[in-house]
């Protein structure tokens, strides 16, 4: 199947700093990518939909000024957690899929474990 690569896999940062997470589709073009957050022992919660060349669409309750998403090319979306706080510590994971029917499978990055100290 297609490959989605996410980097870094782990990051520790100090409160108040910003962290950038990259999500790349390695062998296909993704006009749309998705960002999820997963707290321990919980499900994957959709944060936002990243659209190439346009603004991201955020889910209700997700602060767009805190979680900056940039999708500048057909193979790269970035999520920047700005002014990070300990409560932002979580597992962040991106996803992309081939948009054309009948291709339906979603491909996930490896995930990023963010710890804010």
Binding mask 26-55 for another protein (x = CB under 8 A): -----xx-x-------xxxxx--x------
Closest to another protein by CB, 2 vs 68, is: 2
Q: Among residue numbers 65 through 94, which ones bind another protein (CB under 8 A)?
A: 91, 93
Report yes or no: 73 and 2 within 8 Å, Cβ to Cβ.
no
Asked if 44 and 38 count as a contact pair (C-beta separation under 8 A), the reply is yes
- Residue closer to another protein (CB basis): 21 or 93: 93
Of 32 and 82, the one with the shorter C-beta distance to another protein is 32
C-alpha dist (Å) from residue 113 to 2, 60, 99: 22, 23, 28
Helix (H, G, I), strand (E, B) or coil at 26: coil
């Amino acid at each position: 199947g297609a490959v989605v690569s996410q980097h870094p896999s782990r990051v520790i940062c100090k409160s108040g700093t910003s962290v950038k997470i990259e999500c790349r589709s390695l062998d296909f073009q993704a006009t749309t990518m998705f960002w999820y957050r997963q707290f321990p022992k919980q499900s994957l919660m959709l944060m936002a939909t990243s659209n190439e060349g346009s603004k991201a669409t955020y889910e209700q309750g997700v602060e767009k000024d805190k979680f900056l998403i940039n999708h500048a090319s057909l193979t790269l979306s970035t999520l920047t957690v700005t002014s990070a706080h300990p409560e932002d510590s979580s597992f962040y994971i991106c996803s992309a899929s081939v948009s054309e029917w009948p291709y339906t499978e979603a491909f996930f990055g490896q995930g990023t474990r963010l710890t804010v100290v």
